Amino acid sequence: MKIGMVGLGLIGGSMALDLRQRGFAESIMGTDSNPEHVRLAKQAGIIQEEGGLPDLAAACDLIILATPVDVAPAILLSLLELVSDKTIILDVGSTKEHICSAVESHPRRKQFVACHPIAGTENTGPSAAHHTLFDNKVNIICNAADSDARAVELAEKLFATLQMETVHMDARAHDRHLAFVSHLSHITSFALGLTVLEIEKDEKSIFNLAGSGFASTVRLAKSSPAMWAPIFRQNAGHVSEALGAYIEQLLHFKEAIDAGMATETYDMITKANQVSRILSGIELKNSQKPAISPAPEDGEAKIAPMAG
């Protein structure tokens, strides 16, 4: 199978590496809005060929959109006009309602599968791509009933090859949940980084005092603005809801500390400690997953004809 990759950064590049190494794809043809990304991806063996959208549409059996979410819908609509009736397209963006709405009335809507592999680091670009990024992580497929069953099956096989567990979810529910468990985490990190940078203007020694707690909390502040600003814009309603709830908790802490209410502060911290139960459950679930065969039994994945 030949796969087309639109976007050659951390996510697209890492997918390309493992899909070839694990036998799902014979070769990858890639494109990126940044020519330097294309050059680096070819040099690193992430892609074997480069080409524009018409080239990918003509040559590839499956096309993956790994671009910022603000440009993905327009690229998807362009590709749906270019591809044959047999080509499947999937995206891997962090917001789903917007892209699903953009194509809901398109005649080739069934050839598209809306996906979100939940994995990543704070690093960007082809140089950040690496093997096993997705191992033991979760992938979400949204609004699967709007896609052809065989297209969904192929997407599930692809993410199984990446050692991911796939779950299904409504696009709107996905965006709301991700606002709390992912998007809010990034805003918190960005805000902490901005707060400390403001203080650092006058207190040059502050970073000499920063420990591992600061480093781990602010790590996400290094994430790409080109990726995250569009996510916040597309998911503004849910992100605002999450921020409101978070700000309320911050105010509770501030009020308790200002009033010298040590017992109340202690109780809030104790309650917050319960998050370790959730995190431990995630770790246990991952450790108990059965080994996933890296590729279909007959080697390279095949695309079955889609229903008319």
Residues 147, 29 contacting (CB under 8 angstroms): no
Q: What is the pLDDT of residues 164-182, one digit of tens each?
A: 999 999 999 999 999 998 9
Residue by residue, DSSP assigns 239-273 as HHHHHHHHHHHHHHHHHHHHTT-HHHHHHHHHHHT
| Residue 151 located in a structural domain | yes
Q: State the DSSP H helix or E strand holding residue 6, giving kind and residue range, or none if neither.
A: strand 2-6
Say which CATH number the domain at 70 has: 3.40.50.720
Name the more confident of 216 and 306: 216
Q: What is the pLDDT of residues 51-99, one digit of tens each?
A: 999 999 999 999 999 999 999 999 999 999 999 999 999 999 999 999 9
In this prediction, residue 208 has a pLDDT band, given cuts at 50, 70 and 90, of: low
Q: Which of 102, 135, 169 is the last residue of a domain?
A: 169
Six-digit token string for 209:
């005092």
**Mode of pairing for the β-strands spanning 112-118 and 138-142:** antiparallel
Please indicate, yes or no, whether residues 149 and 44 belong to a single structural domain of this protein.
Answer: yes
| Residue 307 located in a structural domain | no
Residues 121, 163 contacting (CB under 8 angstroms): no
Q: Which string of b and e fits 7-21 if b means at least 16 CB within 10 Å?
A: bbbbbbbbbbbbbbe
Range of the domain at 203: 174-287
Residues shown for the chain: 308
Please indicate, yes or no, whether residues 126 and 10 belong to a single structural domain of this protein.
Answer: yes
Instruction: Write phi, then psi, for 114 (nearest 5 degrees).
Output: -85, 115
Is pTM beyond 0.95? Reply is no
Residues 50, 21 contacting (CB under 8 angstroms): no
